[in-house]
Amino acid sequence: MQKTEFELTSEYIELNQLLKMVGVCDSGGAGKQIVASGQVKVDGKQELRKTAKIRAGQQVTLGDVRIVVLGQSGADGA
């Protein structure tokens, strides 16, 4: 499984935007389609809300890609 870390610069990032920022898809719209297809899990549970607020300490999984969301300065915020 490929692990990617993403550092937040604010309180949260919307799920579709996170997928775009880490390079899983080309645009936020494509991210929305991926989420709507049911392929994305947040903390191990299927997430269908395209603009779900993802915060520090959460993990997003799509296929063999795992995105670990970090707080500012690499702190997990949990």
Match 């919307």 to its residue by tokens: 14
Reported pTM: 0.88
Q: DSSP assignment of 2-48, as one string?
A: EEEEEE-SSS-EEHHHHHHHTTSSSSHHHHHHHHHTT-EEETTEE--
DSSP for residue 60: E
The predicted pLDDT at position 28 comes to 86
Query: In which band, very low, low, confident or very high, does the pLDDT at 46 lie, cut at 50, 70 and 90?
Result: very high
